[in-house]
A and B are shown apart, each in its own frame.
Chain A
Amino acid sequence: MRGTNQIYQNNFLFDLNKNNNRLVELQQQVGTGKIAQRPSDAPTIVARSLTFSVQLNQTDMNDQNINSGIGWLDASDNAIQTVNSMLIHIQEKVTQALNGTYNDADIQAIGTDIAKMTQQIINTMNTNVGDRFLFAGTRDSLPPFDSNGVYAGDQGKIYMPVQGGVVNPADPVNVSGTDVMGPLQFTTINVNGNNVSVDSSLQGDGKTPQTLYLLNKLSQLMINNPGQFKNPATAENSWLRNNAVNITQAAMGITKNCLAEIGAIGDAYRMSLKMNYNTNMVIQQQDSLNSDVDASQAIIYLKSVETTYQASMAVGARLMPNSLVDYLK
């Protein structure tokens, strides 16, 4: 093959250009810490990295949902504990009232106390967190109870998606007003596991939950008609007197069930939180392994490419300008 000056130049430029490109690529890799700047740099890595970003986004969102679920459950737990302590207080008062030595004024005073405490229970049941009423079911933008205890919420459940789009429907984060305060219509009440029949005139009005309905009835009887409370003449009043303690017992039974349920769900959510955190860490590691540059390797490679680059320029500088012309005198 016959060599010509043009061939020197062609080859030199081609090689120099190649070295330049390689340097630019490496500079970007070292500069950004990522193997691929664009899909065509490494299609598989970019595609995997997109998948990881979706998964990371998902676990981040799950984390947020789980935490807000836990917050919701904790707030519900606090409120129901408060309700429970008030119920204990009411039970003490009721027990006092049943004491035969109390006169009408005493009973009226106790009735007023019970009415006030019922009011406090209603206030507690209207607890809201961040403008959302805890015990309103899915109608959580309005207070679920009015001052008479009439329930305006529903029995809807609120779920927090916690993993991969799958949520256990048995794990809602809310309990509704009727979960805590009992049903709107009832024929029996559950006292420590035993069903006690309720007088037909006291089986609910369809709008006030059991606990509030019965406590209202009881306190009204004490206030308005203390004599009847002591010596009931009607089946209705007689039932109220005879079951005065049962009413609070049944109420506490319901709240305790709620507390147990909230506790169990809260544990499940806390477990989810840990698992989600672990998943998140694993994905982050995978993502890093997939798309991050191994810095030391990249720098060593950079060095060697740089050396080649320098060498090719040196060779070009030595060979290109020379020809026989330089030696002819």
Chain B
Amino acid sequence: MAISSFQGLNTAVKGLSASQLALDTIGHNIANASTPGYSRQVAALGATNPTFTPNSAGQVLAVGTGVDVSTIVGIRESYIMQQLWEQGSNYAFSETAVTFGRRIEDWFNEPSEYGLQATLNKVWNAIQSLATDASQSAQRQTLRAAGRQLCDYVDSTFQNMQRMVTDLNTTIGIKVDAINRLTKDISDLNTQISAQELTGIQANDLRDRRDVLVTELAALVNVSVVEDKTGKYVINCSGQALVTAQGSVRLATVDDATSRLSTYYGIITNKIVATDSGNTVNVSSGEVASLLFMRDNPDYGITAYLDRVDSICRSQLQDFNRQHRMGYTLDGTTNVNFYGNPGVNYDLENSAVLMSNLAGGQININSRTAYIANLQTVEVKIASVGAGGAVQSVAFTVKDKNGNILSQGTATPVTGGSQTLQDANGNNLFILPNGLEVSINVNDKNAVNDTYSFDLPSQIVNRWQPAVTVPSGVAGSSVPGSFSMMQVNIPNTAVSFPNLLVGFKDNGGTPAMYVSIDGGNSWSAAVDYDPGMTSASEWSFDLSRVRAQGLNGASYGLAGEIRISKTGSYPSGFDPTGNAQLDKTYAVNVTNNVGGWIGKMKVNPLISDTQNGLRTVAAADIATTFTGNAGDPNALGGKMLIGSTAGYDGQGKPLWPPKDSLNLNILPQFDVSGNLTNISLKNNQAVIGGHTYGVIPTSPAPGDGKVQLTTVLKDDPADSTQKLVYTTLHYWIEENGSDVERYVTFTVRVPKAGSNQNGDTYNMLFPPGSANGNNAFAMGVLIHNTPIAALGKATINDYYNTVISDIGNQVNTQTNLRDTQQKVLLQITNWRDSVSGVNMDEEMANLIKFQRAYGASAKMVTTINELIGTLLQAV
């Protein structure tokens, strides 16, 4: 038997060094107890290979040779990490959504005395005061100030939102930089870890550091992490590789010209693209996704709330203005906007607005139809229906006032390019002759043979007003910023029926879009040449009917009017040479009018005017008082004097005022001696409330649109040089479906002698009494009680109410979600800590364990030392 005296010593030394290593690992754990992402390490001990020694009996014994540390293991669970990253993304998403949601909420500033609701209340109060006390300029002043306040409010909201978008753009840029840094670092660590582990050494601390970086990355974007065979992380975000086995992919931000904020409001936004492919990265979770969501989401983001405020502005520019335009100013003028620019009919702006909503919301007729003379009824029958009730064709009959059929036929939806054009509400458009436009909701349950009949113009509230002429620019259009120029081409065939080609060039000068009037060009969409608008000397083209398709597939609307002279002389400013030429192209700059309705909100400069502005508030519903002899004041003495107010039926009952304004051109008739024989209406017509009424020469037959003058001539008892004409003007107007006769009486006083002659005309105007506040009253009703189509058939207050409750609910929901996710995240973090975290008590226990082991091994050394000593003494 042979046994080494020193083998025991070796075993003891191994024990010492193993304990030492274990103690070092414990020290490392204790030192890193609070290090983020640290996974505790355990020194894995293993017995070393035994030596084989035969015993005296010749049996072979395996003698233990001690201990060794086989490896130092990091305790980690990759499944937990995956969970942690996924929930980390979700939590970061809702946390950011709450932060920015609360900022949006702050801007609405409700409930408070300074929010939009309070401002709307102020406007309403001012209107109410004006309605009761219209002759006080203080009340007009208050309304103007309240209107300005509303404009200021929406403007500052717009500015705030714009700032927040800019802020978000910048933040997204910074976050993308952070993503790039993280992916680069992760990729570097990938290389180190795989190199180290290839040699069989566990890269515990490097792995911990990498996991920390991935956790940071997961808070920014959603990631999917896969570890390859060499220990490298391959990371994807929504299909876009961020980290590959080879390296990292850089992301970048670029301007996004197609976002709604950019095209509609002109606020620049950015998007994230991968630099390797140029593809847009659609981040779905994490802080960055939340930033994009809060900016662009059409239901919850800034875009959504800007759109809601924009709709309120639209209701002001369209509905409120429409009511205001119906009223009369102190100067007796009408058709004045309260908001926006003078002379613009905002109903004709942008996407065609459906004025009347008839027959259960299925078919609408556009307002523009109203100005066409003689139209009485339109009957629309649905002829064929496709899937889902979409109307494929309609049969129509248009009749005049006498029941004669003006036109009859079928129509199919208007198409532009290859697709069916729709208005803003998703309705298909059908263009009928006579300038009629019908829009039919594609989603309603339309059935073949459904028939709708409309009386015109009674159900059409608004009358056509000429829009801006082209030379002043194409105002109020939604022409996107990419168009630099519009060209109007007049081919040389413009003899009986005009040809017109309207082209647009993009910023690079390349032709982008053409529409033509005669239908010869493929881009011709719904350009409307309308004989009704055309005067003896000009053709007129209504650009608001132009709905053409641009190269990028989007449909564009314009507003404005092109007028072309038949005689060759053009409106000034239209032709720089001053001479019309056929077959010549005229260039008109396109006014880029991006900015939405919000951008148009201001008090009409006519009302803001310091001199006459207050008089221009149209508080009155009718022109109630009567001033005669508008015309040549110098002609008064010698000619006709239109007398005092009158309007009695002889029983003391006032017939005055009439329902509408009256504007009469009186034509007196004289015999050869210059004596008055009678008076009549010039051109046999009277303009009442903006409508032209024709004279019925014979006995008065009731009917809308008719007028008759009866006169009685008397010598003036008070002044023998004057003759009096007691005059009654009868007219018939439709009210609530039936014709109502109204009349007004007045007296005309004409000198018997004087330089009178046939053909003299006198204009009579009826400006309002200053205290008439009935239109203001109607404006108040509109703000408080009238459901508005542009606001989803809600009143302004109700609509705003839902805006506030929506933002409230949204933030509330996100907050709850965040709290839940925070809890989930806590649980996962705890789970991870439970597996990988350092427990001090455990470490202390191990410390003592290995301290004892170390002591025991040391005792072994001493013992063996003594053994050897004993042997040496024996020598």
Residues of chain A at the chain B interface (Cβ within 8 Å): 1-7, 10-11, 14, 34, 36, 38-44, 46-47, 49-51, 53-54, 57-58, 61, 64-65, 68-69, 131-132, 136-141, 150-151, 153-156, 158-161, 164-165, 167, 176, 178, 182-188, 190, 201, 205-207, 210, 254, 291, 323-325, 328
Which 5 pairs of residues, A with B, have the shortest CB-CB distance? A39-B808, A138-B769, A43-B808, A40-B811, A4-B837
Question: Do B101 and A185 touch (CB < 8 A)?
Answer: no
6 residue pairs bridging A and B, Cβ less than 8 Å apart = A38-B105, A39-B108, A39-B807, A40-B808, A185-B648, A324-B844
Of B105, B132, B624, B647, the contact of A40 (CB 8 Å cutoff): B105
> How far is it, in angstroms, between the C-alpha of A75 and the C-alpha of B133 when the chains are bound?
16
Distance in angstroms from B758 CB to nearest chain A CB is 26
Rounded to whole Å, the gap between the CB of A321 and the closest CB of chain B is 11
Return the contact of A161 from the options B768, B777, B834 (Cβ within 8 A).
B777
In the complex the two chains form, is A201's CB within 8 Å of B717's CB?
yes
Query: Which residues of A have CB within 8 Å of B294?
Result: none
**CA–CA, A42 and B784, complex, Å:** 25
What per-residue 1/0 map shows which CB atoms of B724-739 lie under 8 Å from chain A?
Answer: 1000000000000000
Contacts A47-B804, A54-B797; A207 near B644 (Cβ below 8 A): yes
Known: A4-B834, A40-B807, A46-B804. 15 other contacts (CB 8 A): A2-B839, A3-B839, A5-B33, A39-B108, A40-B101, A40-B808, A42-B808, A49-B111, A53-B111, A65-B128, A140-B769, A151-B645, A159-B774, A159-B777, A206-B646
Q: Judging by beta carbons under 8 Å apart, are B804 and A39 in contact?
A: yes
Chain B, interface SS category: helix
Interface residues of B in 654-689 (CB under 8 A from A): 654, 656-657
Pairwise interchain contact A5-B837, C-beta atoms closer than 8 A: yes
> Residues on B close to A: CB < 8 A?
33-34, 101-102, 105-106, 108, 110-111, 117-118, 121, 124-125, 128-129, 131-136, 620, 624-626, 643-648, 650-652, 654, 656-657, 717-718, 724, 747, 768-774, 777, 780-781, 784-785, 797, 800-802, 804-812, 815, 822-823, 826, 829-830, 833-835, 837-841, 844-845, 848
Distance (whole angstroms) from the CB of A95 to the closest CB of chain B: 25
A2, A3, A54: which contacts B117 (Cβ < 8 A)? A54
A6, A160, A254 — most chain B CB neighbours (10 Å): A6
Given the interface pairs A5-B839, A138-B768, A207-B644, the reply to whether A165 lies near B844 with Cβ below 8 Å is no
Q: Which residues of A contact B117 (CB under 8 A)?
A: 50, 53-54
**B813 closest partner in A (C-beta):** A40
What residue of chain A has the Cβ atom nearest to residue B718's Cβ?
A: A205
User: Shortest CB–CB separation between residue B644 and chain A, in angstroms?
Assistant: 4
Q: A14-B826, A132-B135 known; A40 and B102 CB under 8 Å?
A: yes
Q: Is the CB of A324 within 8 A of B845?
A: yes
**Pairwise interchain contact B845-A46, C-beta atoms closer than 8 A:** no
- Give the Cβ gap from B654 to chain A, nearest Cβ, in Å: 4
Contact between chains at B838 and A4 (CB < 8 Å): yes
How far is B768's CA from A47's CA once the two chains are assembled, in angstroms? 41
Contact of A14 among B102, B108, B747, B822 (CB under 8 A): B822
Q: Which chain B residue has the least Cβ–Cβ distance from A182?
A: B652
Min CB distance, A82 to chain B, in Å?
21
Please report the C-alpha to C-alpha distance between residue A10 and residue B770 in the assembled complex, in whole angstroms. Answer: 73
**Do B771 and A207 touch across chains, with their CB atoms under 8 A apart?**
no
Q: Is the CB of A206 within 8 A of B811?
A: no
Of the candidates A39, A141, A150, A156, the one whose C-beta lies within 8 Å of that of B657 is A156
If the complex has contacts A36-B111, A54-B117, A154-B624, are A161 and B131 also in contact, measured as CB distance less than 8 A? yes
Contact present for B747 and A206 (CB under 8 Å) = yes
B646 adjacent to A184 (CB under 8 Å): yes
Contacts of A44 in B (CB 8 A): 805
Pick from A47, A138, A167, A188: contact of B808, CB under 8 Å: A47
With A40-B102, A186-B652, A201-B717: A57-B769 Cβ-Cβ less than 8 Å: no
CB atoms of B718 and A184 under 8 A apart: no
Residues A158 and B805 in contact in the complex (CB < 8 Å), given A54-B121, A138-B624, A186-B650: no
Complex contacts, B841 vs chain A, CB 8 Å: 323-324
Give the residues in chain A near B770, CB-CB below 8 Å.
138-141
Contacting pair B805 A39 (CB below 8 A): yes
Chain A residue numbers with a CB within 8 Å of B822 are 14
Q: Point out the residues of chain A lying under 8 angstroms from B772, CB to CB.
A: 138, 156, 158
* B124 close to A57 (CB less than 8 A): yes
Is A187 within 8 A of B805, CB to CB? no
Identify the interface centre among A44, A138, A323: most chain B CB within 10 Å of its CB.
A138
Residues from chain A with Cβ under 8 Å of B647 in the complex: 155
A14-B826, A65-B132 in contact; A4/B833 too (CB < 8 A)?
A: yes
A11 touches B131 (CB 8 A): no
Q: In whole Å, how far is B774's beta carbon from the nearest beta carbon of chain A?
A: 7
State whether A161 touches B780 (Cβ < 8 A). yes
CA distance A184 to B648 in the complex (A): 7
Given A11-B830, A47-B801, A140 and B771 contact (CB-CB distance below 8 Å)? yes
Query: Chain A residues with Cβ under 8 A from B654's Cβ?
Result: 155, 176, 178
Task: Tell me the minimal C-beta distance from A178 to chain B in angstroms.
Answer: 7
B residues less than 8 Å from A190 (CB atoms):
652
Residues of A within 8 A of B797 (CB): 50-51, 54
CB of A251, distance to nearest CB on chain B (Å):
12
Which B residues touch A167, using CB under 8 A? Answer: 777
Q: Are B780 and A51 in contact (CB under 8 A)?
A: no
Contacts of A65 in B (CB 8 A): 128, 132
- The reply to whether A11 and B826 contact each other, CB–CB distance below 8 Å, is yes
CB distance from A169 to the nearest CB of B (A): 9
Complexed CA–CA distance, A138 and B132 (Å): 11
**Chain A residues positioned under 8 Å from B656 (CB to CB):** 154-155
Whether the Cβ atoms of A160 and B132 lie closer than 8 Å is yes
Q: Which residues of B contact A136 (CB under 8 A)?
A: 769, 771
- In the complex, which residues of chain A have a beta carbon less than 8 angstroms from the beta carbon of B626? 154
Closest B residue to A141 by beta carbon equals B135
* Nearest-Cβ distance from residue A164 to partner chain B, whole angstroms: 7
Known pairs A138-B624, A154-B625, A155-B654; A165 contacts B646 (CB<8 A): no
Q: Beyond A61-B125, A165-B785, A184-B645, is A7–B833 a contact (Cβ under 8 Å)?
A: yes
A58 to B135, CA, bound (A): 22
A161-B780, A185-B648 in contact; A156/B128 too (CB < 8 A)?
no
**Using Cβ atoms and an 8 Å threshold, which residues of chain A touch B643?**
206-207
Q: Is the CB of B111 within 8 A of A10?
A: no
A29 to B350, CA, bound (A): 46
CB distance from A110 to the nearest CB of B (A): 25
Q: Hey, which chain A residues are within 8 Å of B620, CB to CB?
A: 138
CB neighbours (8 Å) of B811 from chain A are: 38-40
Point out the residues of chain B lying under 8 angstroms from A68, CB to CB.
132-133
With both chains docked as a complex, state the minimum distance between the C-beta of B831 and any C-beta of chain A, in angstroms. Answer: 8
A61–B139 CA distance with the chains assembled, in angstroms:
14
> Do B838 and A161 have beta carbons less than 8 Å apart?
no
Q: Hey, which chain B residues are within 8 Å of A188, CB to CB?
A: 650
A50 touching B800 by the CB < 8 A rule?
Answer: yes
A51 touches B834 (CB 8 A): no
Quick check: A46 and B652 within 8 Å, CB to CB? Answer: no
What are the residues of chain A within 8 A of B826 when measuring CB–CB?
A: 10-11, 14
